[in-house]
């Protein structure tokens, strides 16, 4: 069977191969040599039978061995693992192959288990809906939600009781039975790992270099052979500037890389390090992805040169003000914060600050319990244009590091302007929520956002920079508006400073319905999170970044004899993480229009592509409303899109009849095939220009409906018509 690559946060690479009983993991040296061999086999099974007596909650313990109840019995005939389930997967390490000179210590087994869990929790997330016997007749939407977890089977390597106890003491596994018990070794047969808990464990606690380190290296060095994780210091309070707060540990040193993470959808490593005042460039020693390096000239610049160059750019200068020579030294000598350089595969792209809220001006304004002892805050700016659009990756990674650095950190805070709706929406899309509004010293309102697990693009002490930033935000922010009649998708709007050319083209058809300008200031609708596989620019200025839609892709092709529409537009594949369809990039869209003979213009793609994506998102929401009554009580949580086809030159019978009655014809038509738990449902979508709004903005109207080419489609249309669905 084909092998796949697993890239760990510390840069180590493993290949894994599917076996009849599970997976085989094998260490892959950086030089691809086989001089050092290390591998282990994992047995994975799915026990999908429901227990006779369901637990009271998702993490409730089963009956105790001496309480008169027996623990829930596992099914006698487990099934082969196909895809993750919510709580019915079991695995154990069945065998280990390591060099004769090394013993399988508890630390080594813990690392193997952590890597296996790292692979498992990167699989598509199963439905959170549970099906306990007590809720057998409850509708699907009313059934309780459970915690995604995997069970550790006491077999293979895990038969060793002392080893299992040590893994539990490390915090890697948990036992459902937490009582002492009255029999020996009681309660150690029901072990599990929850995904929510796994991602709160620092990888440094379990990962270390497998190959022996030949030179003498201090154990606390980043190049050490042993794990480099240490617990936080004990709690002790001190006073700073009249503020009582816990004594803080020293931050990482200048030039030190303190966080790395491989981003699968970008195929690159994201890393954070502390900048240096050295006039020489900081040599990157962290891991890199398998792709070709780009923008490497930035790695040859010192951190002072980088920051000075970035702060001279208009979009940063308006946010942060003028660069001064003491900017970096001041950031490095702050007692309650430290600066950070963000890098993609070692190439710097942005500047951040991580601070303790308690001692910061934000903590002084919110005060009391609102600023907890270990709350962290963030300031950010992205200096490189090619790296803009990757906000979800570095924002979640910064928050992740804050939560890993000290387990007592419960919130990560930011303080954007309260009227910056676009930025607040971006934070909410990334699991932040607005906590309150605070009034700083100049009485300009800020919104304090939190992630319980919010960024200040401008230094909140520099109020002139804040005003400049607000002015720019008002000019550049696109208001996503709804249509007047049938709630169409949001339309991006910008100040109209240019007039579209009169030349007829495919994209000018959209211009007749949407007011916008064609240029670098045009903004994109926020209907989908930007998931990029490679952010770059082609020779025509066309972006190569692609967005992952919210539309799940049907993984199994239909086997019936019905002729379904084919994906003749662009076969863009599915995202390996979410399993959703991936939209084409600007260049892919442009090339496709050229192949079809349309008069496409490269400058238009900046606006046309996001409109195309937003239309599809709106159409999918309509289809989900059609499918909702028929998915209740089934094993399928959502429908999936199997295939699609664009038939702009062929009117549907309904559209043809409407044109005969004097109505305007649709400007486009799509045929979509939807998979409803294996059942084929065909939909047709007519696209119409909507009514103009009072402010002059125009919109789209989508007529989404099942086709009448099957009894199921006829039934759905009739039931919707009479109000029964």
Give the CA-trace dihedral at 413, 418, 420, 426, to 10 degrees.
40
Token readout for 114 is 């952590």
* pLDDT higher than threshold 50 for residue 517: no
How do beta strands 22-28 and 39-46 pair?
A: antiparallel
> Taking the mean position of all CA atoms in its chain, how far away is CA 269?
15
Tell me phi and psi for residue 617, to 5 degrees: -65, -40
Where in the chain is CATH 3.40.630.30?
237-474
* pLDDT higher than threshold 90 for residue 370: no
Residue pair 108/102 in contact by the 8 Å Cβ criterion: yes
Cα four-point dihedral sign 396, 401, 402, 404: positive
For the stretch 380-417, pLDDT in tens is 899 999 998 898 999 999 999 999 999 999 999 988 76
Give the integer Cα–Cα distance in Å for 400 and 406: 11
Which positions ≥6 away from 267 have C-beta within 8 Å? Answer: 289, 290, 291, 533, 534
For the stretch 148-199, pLDDT in tens is 999 999 999 999 999 999 999 999 999 998 888 888 877 898 999 999 999 9
Residue 68: per-residue pLDDT: 43
Judge whether 435 counts as a catalytic residue: no
Which of the residue ranges 323-332, 362-371, 382-391 would you say has the lowest mean pLDDT? 362-371
Mean pLDDT of 589-596: 76
- Closest CA relative to residue 481, chosen from 490, 469, 471: 490
**Residues facing residue 670 across a β-bridge:** 646, 685
**Residues facing residue 238 across a β-bridge:** 245
Q: Long-range contacts: 249-254, Cβ < 8 Å, 24+? A: 251/338, 251/354, 252/338, 254/278, 254/332
> What's the CATH superfamily of 237-474?
Gcn5-related N-acetyltransferase (GNAT) (3.40.630.30)
How sure is the predictor about 599, in pLDDT bands with cuts at 50, 70 and 90?
Answer: low
Residue 482: per-residue pLDDT: 37
DSSP 528: S
Strand residues in 290-399 grouped as ranges (E): 337-344, 347-356, 376-382
Mean pLDDT of 331-346: 96
Residue 447: per-residue pLDDT: 60
DSSP 95: E
Mean pLDDT of 133-142: 84
Give the integer Cα–Cα distance in Å for 50 and 494: 55
* pLDDT higher than threshold 80 for residue 526: no
Of residues 556 and 178, more confidence is placed in 178
**Helix or strand run (H / E) with residue 405:** helix 391-405
Helices marked H in 312-453: 314-320, 327-332, 361-366, 391-405, 421-429
Cα four-point dihedral sign 329, 330, 335, 338: negative
Give the CA-trace dihedral at 277, 281, 282, 286, to 10 degrees.
150
Residue pair 408/358 in contact by the 8 Å Cβ criterion: no
| pTM, entire model | 0.58
Of residues 289 and 594, more confidence is placed in 289
Q: Which of 318, 415, 547, 586 is catalytic?
A: 415
**Helix or strand run (H / E) with residue 43:** strand 39-46
* pLDDT higher than threshold 80 for residue 655: yes
**Would you call 223 exposed, middle or buried from its count of C-beta atoms within 10 A (0-12, 13-18, 19+)?**
exposed
Residue pair 43/156 in contact by the 8 Å Cβ criterion: yes
How sure is the predictor about 711, in pLDDT bands with cuts at 50, 70 and 90?
Answer: very high
Give the integer Cα–Cα distance in Å for 65 and 562: 56
* pLDDT higher than threshold 50 for residue 668: yes
**Helix or strand run (H / E) with residue 691:** none
**How many C-beta atoms surround the C-beta of residue 254 within 10 A?**
16
Residue 148: per-residue pLDDT: 96
């Amino acid at each position: 069977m084909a092998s796949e690559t697993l890239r760990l946060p510390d840069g180590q690479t493993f290949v894994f191969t599917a076996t009849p009983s599970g997976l085989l993991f094998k260490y892959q040296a950086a030089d691809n040599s086989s001089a050092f061999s290390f591998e282990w086999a994992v047995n994975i099974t799915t026990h999908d039978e429901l227990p006779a007596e369901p637990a009271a909650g998702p993490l409730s313990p089963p009956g105790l061995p001496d309480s008169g109840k027996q623990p829930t019995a596992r099914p006698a005939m487990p099934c082969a693992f196909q895809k993750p389930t919510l709580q019915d997967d079991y695995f154990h390490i069945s065998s280990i192959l390591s060099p004769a000179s090394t013993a399988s210590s508890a630390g080594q087994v813990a690392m193997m288990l952590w890597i296996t869990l790292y692979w498992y929790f990167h699989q598509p997330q199963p439905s959170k809906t549970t099906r306990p016997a007590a809720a057998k007749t409850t509708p699907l939407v009313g059934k309780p939600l459970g915690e995604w977890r995997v069970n550790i089977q006491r077999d293979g390597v895990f038969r060793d009781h002392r080893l299992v106890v040590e893994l539990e003491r490390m915090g890697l596994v948990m036992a459902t039975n937490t009582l002492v018990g009255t029999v020996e070794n009681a309660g150690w047969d029901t072990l599990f790992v929850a995904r929510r808990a796994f991602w709160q464990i620092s990888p440094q606690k379990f990962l270390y270099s497998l190959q022996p380190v030949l030179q003498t290296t201090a154990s606390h060095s980043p190049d050490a052979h042993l794990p480099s994780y240490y617990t936080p210091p004990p709690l002790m309070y001190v006073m700073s500037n009249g503020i009582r707060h816990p004594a803080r540990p020293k931050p990482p040193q200048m030039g030190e890389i303190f966080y790395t993470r491989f981003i699968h959808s970008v195929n690159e490593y994201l890393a954070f390090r502390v900048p240096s005042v050295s006039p020489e460039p900081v040599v990157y020693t962290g891991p890199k992805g398998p792709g070709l390096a780009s923008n490497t000239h930035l790695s040859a610049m010192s951190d002072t040169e980088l920051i000075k160059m970035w702060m001279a750019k208009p979009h940063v200068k308006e946010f942060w003000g003028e660069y001064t020579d003491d900017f970096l030294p001041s950031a490095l000598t702050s007692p309650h914060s430290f600066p950070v350089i963000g890098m993609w595969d070692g190439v710097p792209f942005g500047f951040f600050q991580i601070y303790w809220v308690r001692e910061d001006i934000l903590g002084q304004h919110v005060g009391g319990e609102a600023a907890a002892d270990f709350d962290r805050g963030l300031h950010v700016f992205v200096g490189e244009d090619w790296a803009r659009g990757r906000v979800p990756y570095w924002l979640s990674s910064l928050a992740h590091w804050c939560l890993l650095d000290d387990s007592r950190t419960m919130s990560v805070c930011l303080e954007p302007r309260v009227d910056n709706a676009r930025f607040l929406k971006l934070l909410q899309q990334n699991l932040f929520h607005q906590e309150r509004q605070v009034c700083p010293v100049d009485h300009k309102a800020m919104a304090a956002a939190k992630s319980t697990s919010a960024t200040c693009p401008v230094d909140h002490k520099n109020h002139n920079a804040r005003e400049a930033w607000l002015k720019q935000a008002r000019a550049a922010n696109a208001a996503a508006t709804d249509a007047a009649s049938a709630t169409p998708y949001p339309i991006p709007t910008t100040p109209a400073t240019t007039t579209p050319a009169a030349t007829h083209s495919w994209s000018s058809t959209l211009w007749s319905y949407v007011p916008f300008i064609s240029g670098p200031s045009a903004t994109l609708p926020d209907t989908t999170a930007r998931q990029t596989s490679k952010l770059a620019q082609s020779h025509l200025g066309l972006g190569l970044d692609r967005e992952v839609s919210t539309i799940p892709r049907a993984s199994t092709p239909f086997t019936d004899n019905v002729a379904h529409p084919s994906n003749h537009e662009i076969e863009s594949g599915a995202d390996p993480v979410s399993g959703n369809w991936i939209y084409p990039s600007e260049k892919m869209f442009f090339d496709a229009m050229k192949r079809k003979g349309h008069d496409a213009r490269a400058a238009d793609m900046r606006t046309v592509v996001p409109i195309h994506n937003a239309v599809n998102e709106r159409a999918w929401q309509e289809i989900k409303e059609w499918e909702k009554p028929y998915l209740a009580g089934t094993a399928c949580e959502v429908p999936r899109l199997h295939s699609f086809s664009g038939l702009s030159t062929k009117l549907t019978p309904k559209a043809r009849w409407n044109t005969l009655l004097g109505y305007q014809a649709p400007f486009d038509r799509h045929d979509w095939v939807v998979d409803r738990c294996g059942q084929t449902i065909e939909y047709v979508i007519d696209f119409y220009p909507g009514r103009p709004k009072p402010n002059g903005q125009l919109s789209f109207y989508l007529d989404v409906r099942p086709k009448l080419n099957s009894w199921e489609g006829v039934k759905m249309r009739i039931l919707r018509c009479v109000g029964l669905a």
